[in-house]
Amino acid sequence: DVVMTQTPLSLPVTLGQPASISCKSSQSLVSADGNTYLSWLQQRPGQPPRLLIHKISNRFSGVPDRFSGSGTGTDFTLKISRVEAEDVGVYYCMQSSQYPLTFGPGTKVDIK
Amino acid sequence: EVQLVESGGDLVQPGGSLRLSCAASGFTLSDQLMDWVRQAPGKGLEWVGRSRNKAKSYTTEYAPSVKGRFTISRDESENSVYLQMNSLMTEDTAVYYCVALGHWGQGTLVTVSS
């Protein structure tokens, strides 16, 4: 199975400041079709998860452009350019290049 | 607008069975793959299984932890996907979400306890 790791696991942030979360996979996520199926999800308190980014860097519909994704192969990053209060929650990376699909442990983002 | 509504969660004894439903709207169910993902209380996300689309004969994949116990099926006439769960164990206690086209339902809670 592909193991996903995230750092940090806890991220206190200042409103208006940038934030960054790293995700690493134990194997390359480049699929046979040439795509890299790495997604980022946000889970606000008491809510179901919500897709933010798919295929490394593609924002899902309705996602603000302050969220961006980057990376290649086994190393990926989610960046929030200016954190807002509504960004509090847990962020997960997920790979769907290989079965079983696997998630990172989550990074809890809260306001300092 | 894509909508996914899960139902069927309940309290069940270890060794018991339960069937979850996911009612889909806003898209053509047969064209899309569907995933089930679960989240144990206070824990992270765990993928449960996948049903591919009609073009891929609705073939399925499962997580090792549920393979042989859980089965995903569909009823296109009902626009629904189902998760049949047998031989339930306490570690299957979780909120179960269905996922399609990047959208997640609100989830349904399954509690396995004596």
Q: What is the pLDDT of residues A94-109, one digit of tens each?
A: 999 999 999 999 999 9
Classify strands B34-39 and B103-104 as parallel, antiparallel or unpaired.
unpaired
| Residue A57 · residue A39 · CB < 8 Å | no
Residues of chain B with C-beta less than 8 angstroms from the C-beta of A60:
102
What local confidence, expressed as pLDDT, does residue A8 receive? Answer: 98
What local confidence, expressed as pLDDT, does residue B7 receive? Answer: 98
| Residue B111 · residue B92 · CB < 8 Å | no
What local confidence, expressed as pLDDT, does residue B42 receive? Answer: 97
Residue B108: which H helix or E strand, with range? Answer: strand B108-112
Residues of chain B with C-beta less than 8 angstroms from the C-beta of A105:
44
**Which pairs with CB-CB distance under 8 Å and at least 24 residues apart come from B47-56?**
B47/A100, B47/A101, B47/A102, B47/A103, B48/B83, B48/B96, B49/B83, B50/A99, B50/A101, B51/B81, B54/B30, B55/B31
Task: Report CB contact under 8 Å: A105, B44.
Answer: yes
Helix (H, G, I), strand (E, B) or coil at B106: coil
Task: Report CB contact under 8 Å: A51, B44.
Answer: no
Q: What is the pLDDT of residues A15-47, one digit of tens each?
A: 999 999 999 999 999 999 999 999 999 999 999
Give me the residues of chain B with pLDDT under 50, please.
none
What local confidence, expressed as pLDDT, does residue A57 receive? Answer: 98
CB contacts under 8 A, A 32-71 vs B, are 41, 48-51, 54, 60-61
What local confidence, expressed as pLDDT, does residue B26 receive? Answer: 96
Residues of chain B with C-beta less than 8 angstroms from the C-beta of A50:
104
CA-angle at B19, arms to B15 and B21, nearest 5°: 155
CA distance A26 to A28: 7
Residue for token digits 């919500």?
A: A50
CA distance B67 to B74: 18
Task: Report CB contact under 8 Å: A103, B47.
Answer: yes
Residues of chain A with C-beta less than 8 angstroms from the C-beta of B2:
none
CA distance A6 to B67: 27
Query: Could you tell me the pLDDT band of residue A60, with boundaries at 50, 70 and 90?
Result: very high
Q: What is the pLDDT of residues B72-82, one digit of tens each?
A: 999 999 999 99
Helix (H, G, I), strand (E, B) or coil at A55: coil
Q: How many A-B residue pairs are in contact by the CB < 8 A criterion?
A: 40
CA distance A95 to B47: 10
